[in-house]
């Protein structure tokens, strides 16, 4: 396996770099308002189009953990891992219809601000600090580390040099603010999809050529024949990967919590739409939903192709790391087979995915710290210029911290995709319960929110380690526990999330009902509650907010129809 780039590859990559950097500089200079306006810097308020919002969502979401991790899962598990992408398409529709109107109507710009508006400062501050830690220690580090590892594997450039250069490129994009990020993400997505499709084309062509045939469609057909077990979306209990994707849970259980929390309650994602009007924001999310349908073609099919070729005797040495088969090598192995120029394009696509994700994550870290920590706690009288400058410093500090600590977290041992899912999954159920009840049940109290936040995390930890103290084999017949590689019965990760979410919701309802009902008239008279008061604080919510346009409804139904067909064909 050749770990180097040819002259033509460097030329292609340089063209990509010049286009992205040049366009970012152009957008920065063409801003109508100065970046001393904090809402313009953090949200690009009123200036992102629907296609920029949709492209930015995908560019921020797709990174090395998808290209490397999901391709590896495609090699190991098969098409079933696509549920993370395809269910996200359905989730984006729900977020566009029900979540966005509440955020925009109530002028919510950050997730801690929502918790402050809906509950109280204690809930908001605790979650702001938590999100900062999660984004820096888990997300930023894993994206940077895996990105550098992938670039090193493909190019042969020193790992730490790769890490530093990627971080520097991301800082350059991030310091221009959300408008620069949003519009450069359009170019990043172009390279990401084009380069990804080139790798997929190569992979399918290699399969067909190996069996004496030609054409990518023939290659896909041969893959379904020679790896039929890799083309099922719903896994059965006896499947060795059931713990990762437990049967129907991917359609009616914990997968919804993963996606709704990620796409609807996550500063990193929702920030792209919070500076736009409702129609533009909804159109952007719908566009992102369509792009999500395409992602498994780019990141999963190459992994399955590598599996078929490996099972036929190819890549026997290339797929091995430290003496063991390493599925995460699948995508780099295929990329290294690309001809000069094409390899540069695929390399640019991978770099685009990493840089865009880093820039988006760094901007969210900057936004939360500047608006919810610095402005609210340390300097309430700070002017716009001061807040923006603090935000820029935070971007640089966060990236330096990620470079320093990422090699010590064992990200390469767990796998980046699993690393992120495991650590965010401990808190996702409680956070989502806080948000969903805060949205739609007026009686929900701040104490109930604290219970979901702290109790949900504690219960997630308890269920994770429960198999060490108790034999759970009696749950096997109910499909709630299956044996792991060591024969110990565990509750699948997604099922644990569903259980914790249910407990959080029930606990929140009981705590809220046991609290004295708010005297709205008295609270309003005291200035503690707006006339539209809802529980702890006021949110303006009415049913008319959730009515989508006819065009949105038609396109949403098309997406749902495509998803239904995909799950029916590959059930």
Residue 37 has pLDDT above 80, yes or no: no
**Is 50 exceeded by the pLDDT of residue 525?**
no
pTM of the model: 0.83
Average pLDDT of the residues in 514-541? 53
Write down the pLDDT at residue 528: 44
How confident is the model at residue 282, as a pLDDT? 92
Confidence label for 47 from pLDDT (cuts 50, 70 and 90): low
For residues 131-158, average pLDDT? 81
Beta carbons of 64 and 144 less than 8 angstroms apart: no
Residue 447: pLDDT band with limits 50, 70, 90: very high
How high does pLDDT run on average in the chain?
Answer: 81
Residue 383 confidence (pLDDT): 76
pLDDT(414) > 60: no
Average of pLDDT values for 169-184? 72
**Mean pLDDT on 380-392:** 80
248 burial (CB, 10 Å; 0-12 / 13-18 / 19+) is exposed
Query: Residue 10 region, left (φ>0) first, then alpha (ψ -120 to 50), else beta?
Result: alpha
Q: What contacts 24+ positions apart, CB below 8 Å, involve 417-421?
A: 417/65, 417/66, 417/69, 417/70, 417/72, 417/73, 418/69, 419/65, 419/138, 419/142, 420/65, 420/138, 420/139, 420/142, 421/258, 421/493
Give the domain ranges of the chain: 7-94+108-232+263-425
The 3-state secondary structure of 398-412 reads HHHHHHHHHHHCCHH
CATH number corresponding to 7-94+108-232+263-425: 1.20.1730.10
Lowest-pLDDT range of 16-20, 21-25, 158-162, 440-444 = 21-25
Would you place residue 70 in the very low, low, confident or very high pLDDT band (cuts 50, 70, 90)? confident
């Amino acid at each position: 396996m050749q770990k180097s780039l040819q002259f033509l590859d460097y030329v292609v990559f340089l063209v990509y770099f010049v286009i992205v950097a040049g366009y970012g500089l152009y957008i920065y200079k063409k801003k109508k308002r100065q970046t001393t306006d904090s809402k313009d810097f953090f949200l690009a308020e009123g200036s992102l189009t629907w296609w920029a919002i949709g492209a930015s969502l995908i560019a921020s979401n797709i990174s090395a953990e998808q290209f490397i991790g999901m391709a590896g899962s495609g090699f190991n598990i098969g098409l079933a891992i696509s549920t993370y992408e395809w269910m996200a398409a359905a989730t984006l529709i729900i977020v566009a219809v029900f979540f966005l109107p509440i955020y925009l109507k109530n002028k919510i710009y950050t997730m801690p601000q929502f918790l402050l508006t809906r509950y109280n400062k204690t809930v908001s501050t605790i979650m702001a600090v938590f999100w900062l830690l999660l984004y820096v220690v888990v997300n930023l580090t894993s994206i940077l580390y895996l990105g550098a590892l992938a670039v090193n594997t493909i190019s042969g450039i020193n790992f730490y040099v790769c890490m530093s250069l990627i971080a520097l490129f991301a800082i350059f994009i991030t310091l221009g603010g959300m408008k620069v990020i949003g519009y450069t993400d359009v170019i990043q997505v172009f390279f990401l999809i084009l380069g990804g499709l080139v790798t997929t084309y190569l992979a399918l062509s290699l399969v067909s050529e190996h069996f004496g045939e030609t054409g990518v469609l023939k290659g896909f057909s041969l893959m379904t024949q020679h790896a039929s077990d890799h083309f099922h979306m719903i896994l059965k209990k006896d499947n060795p990967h059931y713990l990762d994707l437990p049967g129907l849970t991917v359609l009616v259980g914990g997968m919804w919590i993963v996606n709704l929390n990620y796409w609807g309650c996550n500063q990193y994602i929702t920030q792209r739409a919070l500076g736009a009007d409702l129609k533009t924001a909804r159109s952007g999310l719908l566009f992102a939903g369509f792009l999500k349908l395409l992602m498994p073609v780019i990141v999963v099919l190459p992994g399955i192709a590598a599996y078929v070729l490996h099972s036929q005797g190819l890549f026997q040495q290339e797929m091995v790391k430290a003496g063991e088969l390493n599925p995460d090598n699948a995508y780099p192995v295929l990329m290294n087979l690309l001809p000069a120029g094409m390899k540069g394009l695929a390399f640019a696509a991978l770099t685009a995915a990493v840089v865009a994700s880093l820039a988006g994550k760094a901007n969210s870290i900057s936004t939360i710290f500047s608006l919810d920590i610095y402005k609210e706690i340390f300097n309430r009288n700070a002017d716009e210029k001061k807040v923006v400058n603090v935000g820029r410093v935070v971007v640089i500090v966060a990236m330096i911290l990620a470079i320093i600590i990422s090699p010590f977290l064992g990200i390469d041992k767990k796998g980046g995709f699993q690393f992120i899912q495991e650590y965010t999954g401990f808190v996702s159920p409680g956070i989502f319960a806080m948000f969903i009840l805060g949205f739609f049940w007026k009686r929900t109290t701040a104490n109930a929110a604290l219970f979901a936040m702290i109790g949900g995390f504690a219960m997630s930890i308890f269920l994770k380690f429960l198999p060490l103290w108790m034999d759970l084999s009696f749950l096997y017949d109910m499909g709630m526990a299956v044996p792991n590689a060591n024969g110990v019965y565990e509750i699948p990760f997604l099922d644990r999330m569903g259980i914790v979410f249910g407990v959080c919701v029930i606990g929140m309802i009981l705590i809220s009902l046991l609290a004295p009902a708010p005297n709205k008239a008295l609270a309003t008279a005291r200035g503690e509650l707006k006339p539209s008061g809802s529980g702890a604080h006021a949110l303006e919510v009415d049913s008319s907010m959730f009515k989508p346009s006819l065009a949105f409804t038609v396109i949403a139904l098309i997406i749902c129809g495509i998803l239904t067909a995909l799950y029916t064909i590959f059930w």
